[in-house]
Structure 1
Amino acid sequence: MTLLPELKTRRLVLRPLRDEDAAVIAELGGKDFEIVRWLTGASWPYVEGEAETFVSKIIGSDPMQTEAVFAITLGGVFIGAVAIEAAGDLEDLPDLPTLGYWVGRAFQGHGYASEAVEAVLAWAFETYGTEAIAARVFEENTRSRGLLRKFGFKPYAMTEKYAKALDRKVANVVVCLQRSDFEALRVGG
């Protein structure tokens, strides 16, 4: 089984999930509707044990076969998560790994999500040896769409995905980032 590395940015440390992260995931994300409403797999209201089940599933699986999930930490404090799901998650781009992320509301607006996403994208392009990475974002999630656009993700398709917390299908934009675009953006600053 592949072990995830620890990734360091200017302000953050991205590390593999630990059992003790479940309680923080539940409080910071799972019990905050303004976070959960943008995720497809989380329940609302929060279901006790859902975070623990998620963390134990992630810890017990090979991240290269399922999902490589990194805890985003700031000064040792868990503030969110960023993940690369193995190819096969998206019907529209089944051969590409998929990016996903969230940051607790108290930590939004400070560039932490951008910093974490950039580090994980660089790691994923290298580790997966892929020429492109996909993402899926709710059409109405303008902040997240802006973050993806900043890194060079381009619209690829529209799809609908069931969102547990909203109990309905939601319009999603499927976007794709070419390795060459990401590398050019990083070189250009």
Structure 2
Amino acid sequence: MAYSEEARIIGIDRLFLRLFKESDAPEVTRLRNNYNIYKNALYLPYPYYKEDALIWIKDHFENFEEERSFEFAITDKLTGKLYGAIALSNQSKFSNGELAYWIGEEYWGNGYATEAAEAVLEFAFAEKGYHKVFARYFHTNPASGRIMKKIGMKKEGTLKEHVKKDDEYIDLIFFGILEQ
């Protein structure tokens, strides 16, 4: 992983992780206005409109500068094509952060989330000095759990029927990893 503090870009094998730009809003809207992404996301509205994307992107720079959260666009290193997003929240009171990600459905199965998550873990520990990173997923989305396992996270527990989404109670499964 190569991190540029000035550019706020992480360069990895096939990808650049960079801050979102307002010009990304149409593609973010296209990718996120997808029921299969919505049903696996805790806070995502559906349908998803360009205004939602603009509101979401608006505070990314300030949040990054204030170290509240680090929201990166996952992009192709050669073409710049946007595949999804990965975020690391800052729980500075506890010296840890929460990892969250989404990939546009047409790009599922290519390893982009895994590659990005590995880089953000390294960013969390090497650049930001976190002690722990955790992540969570709905029990109905085991693919997300497989990503967490691939990057070395360990299952820490399940909160039974913890979230109600679309009139269904869903288990939240938590994973974590300590600085090594």
Taking structure 1 as the reference length, the TM-score comes to 0.81
Letter in 1 for 2:84: G
Gap runs ≥5 in structure 1: 181-189
> SS in structure 2 opposite 1:49?
helix
Measured after TM superposition, the shift of residue 4 of structure 1 is 6.4
More strand by share: 2
Choose 58-67 or 129-138, whichever is displaced more. Answer: 58-67
CA distance in 2: counterparts of 1:161 and 1:127, whole angstroms: 33
Could you say which residue in structure 2 is the equivalent of 1:19?
Answer: 22
Superposition pairs of residues 1-189 of structure 1, within 5 angstroms:
5-29=8-32, 31-47=33-49, 49-62=51-64, 65-74=67-76, 75-87=79-91, 95-159=95-159, 160-163=162-165, 166=166, 169-180=169-180
What CA deviation, in whole Å up to 9, does each residue of 1:80-113 have, x standing for no partner? 001101117xxxx965200001111111111111
CA distance in 1: counterparts of 2:112 and 2:41, whole angstroms: 18
Choose 168-177 or 137-146, whichever is displaced more. Answer: 168-177
CA distance in 2: counterparts of 1:175 and 1:28, whole angstroms: 26
Residues 170/109 of structure 1: CA separation in 2 closer, same or farther (3 Å cut):
same
Moved over 6 A (4+): none
> SS in structure 2 opposite 1:109?
coil
Letter in 2 for 1:26: T
Letter in 2 for 1:107: Y
CA distance in 2: counterparts of 1:168 and 1:3, whole angstroms: 44
Measured after TM superposition, the shift of residue 60 of structure 1 is 3.2
CA distance in 2: counterparts of 1:39 and 1:63, whole angstroms: 25
Letter in 2 for 1:97: G
Choose 75-84 or 38-47, whichever is displaced more. Answer: 38-47
Choose 96-105 or 120-129, whichever is displaced more. Answer: 120-129
How many residues matched?
172
CA distance in 1: counterparts of 2:167 and 2:68, whole angstroms: 25
> SS in structure 1 opposite 2:96?
coil
Taking structure 2 as the reference length, the TM-score comes to 0.85
Gap runs ≥5 in structure 2: none
Measured after TM superposition, the shift of residue 134 of structure 1 is 0.5
